[in-house]
Structure 1
Amino acid sequence: MVQLVCSPDLRARLERELAAHDVELGTGNRWVLVERGYEVPVGCPAIVFDALDFMDVVRLLVAGVREQHGAVRSVVGQRGSAFVVLTAREVVYLEAAAEGIVARTASGRDRVRGTLQHYEVSWAGLGFVRINRSQLVNLAHVREIVPWFNSRYVLRLAGGEELEVSKTYAKRLRSALKI
């Protein structure tokens, strides 16, 4: 269980994000998330964070919960009128498209439920990294990283596709790859 000590506006956002990842909230806590500037409760582990970094805290907490319970390593996708089970390993990248979130695999494109933000948090430990506003890539399928102009990169994937890493997300990619 997680207890929140923060402003009411941030509380609403944190409750929504944590509920999306099935993290229980309450006072019988194992962890406390404390917004910087608020009093830290005594007697249980606390994570103190800046309000602007609340999604990083959610990622950290969810990654820990997933490690304890085992990460969700598959998703159900829709291919035409049939449903298919896709493992995270076979998903090359996820993207926001007109029809919703689409998982690109070697065998095609499948519509999946959820949001990119959900997959960014829950599959981060499986090697998925956000590369722009509309795409997450599985680093296991990246064959080449090409420096591009204006502090950006182009990722060449195993299947020959190329995806552009925006300047905003290039720093996160470098951090994830330790380059």
Structure 2
Amino acid sequence: MMVQLLCSNKVHVKLKHELAKYQIELDPDSDVTLVERGFDIPGDKLSVVFDAIDYMDVVKLLVSGVREDLLAWHALTGLSDNKFAVIEPRDIVFIEAGPDGLMAHTKSKPYSIKETLQYYENTWAAKGFIRINKSQLANLLHVKEIVPWFNSRYVLRMDNQTELEVSKMFSKKLRNTLNI
């Protein structure tokens, strides 16, 4: 996908960097334009107007909707025991941020992976991944049981015998997602 940017140099640099992570290229002839508030809106193109401070919301918008067709098969490369492996999203039970970086846990073993938790939260939401606390994303396809916990929280029992705690802050999103 390609987009045109009409914004300040500072925002341009930030947006270009973020969009590149999702293979969204910049093209002045694109039919889609991202326009920072205060800049002229082209009349002949689909334009998304945003405030400079909210530039990440524009990235989320593009990634969540427009890019879904291109993310249908989006495997990642993980490192375990000094060997790389190609891992499909459906094989990942949960992703966790820790002191040694990001880890993708499969049924068999954990893999060290690149990018950020936010990246996987944005790009893999449609694949069943949901943020459950500040450092973990769970793959809902691997949830065996949801146990109500005290203080409006939950514990997810995963099919690899792991128990993950859903924090109070993310419990509402889980309830809404699963209609519970």
In the other structure, the counterpart of 2:111 is 110
Name the TM-score, length of structure 2 as normaliser. Answer: 0.82
| CA distance in 2: counterparts of 1:128 and 1:86, whole angstroms | 15
1:120 partner amino acid:
E
Q: What is the identity, as a one-letter code, of the residue corresponding to 1:66?
A: R
The structural deviation recorded for 1:120 is: 1.7
1:129 is matched with 130
- Within 5 Å, give how 1:134-153 maps onto structure 2: 134-153=135-154
Residue ranges of structure 2 left out of the alignment (5+ in a row): none
The letter of the residue matching 2:130 is V
User: C-alpha root-mean-square deviation of aligned residues, in Å?
Assistant: 2.6
The residue that corresponds to 1:14 in the other structure is 15
Alignment of 1:4-153 (within 5 A): 4-6=5-7, 8-35=9-36, 39-49=40-50, 53-153=54-154
Kept in 2, the 8 Å contact 1:66–1:72? The answer is no
Assess if the C-alpha contact under 8 Å between 1:71 and 1:122 holds in 2: no
Using the size of structure 1 for normalisation, the TM-score is 0.82
Partner residue in 1 for 2:165:
164
Percent of aligned pairs with the same residue?
A: 50
- What code does the residue aligned with 1:102 have? M
- Cα deviation, 1:48-83, whole Å, max 9, x if unaligned, reads 445565434322312345333343431111110222
2:177 matched residue in structure 1 = 176
Mapped to 2, the partners of 1:137 and 1:26 lie a distance apart of: 36
Q: CA deviation at 1:138?
A: 0.8
Deviation sequence 1:5-63 (CA, Å, 0-9, x none): 44555444322211111111232122122345654321111234455654343223123
1:106-131 CA deviation, whole Å, 9 max, x = no partner? 00111112221222222222111122
- Checking the alignment, whether the CA contact within 8 Å between 2:64 and 2:122 is kept in structure 1 is yes
8 A Cα contact 2:71 2:123, kept in partner: no
Note closer, same or farther for the CA distance 1:10–1:97 as it changes in structure 2 (3 Å cut): same
Local SS of the residue matching 1:120 = helix
Unaligned regions of 5+ residues in structure 1, if any?
none
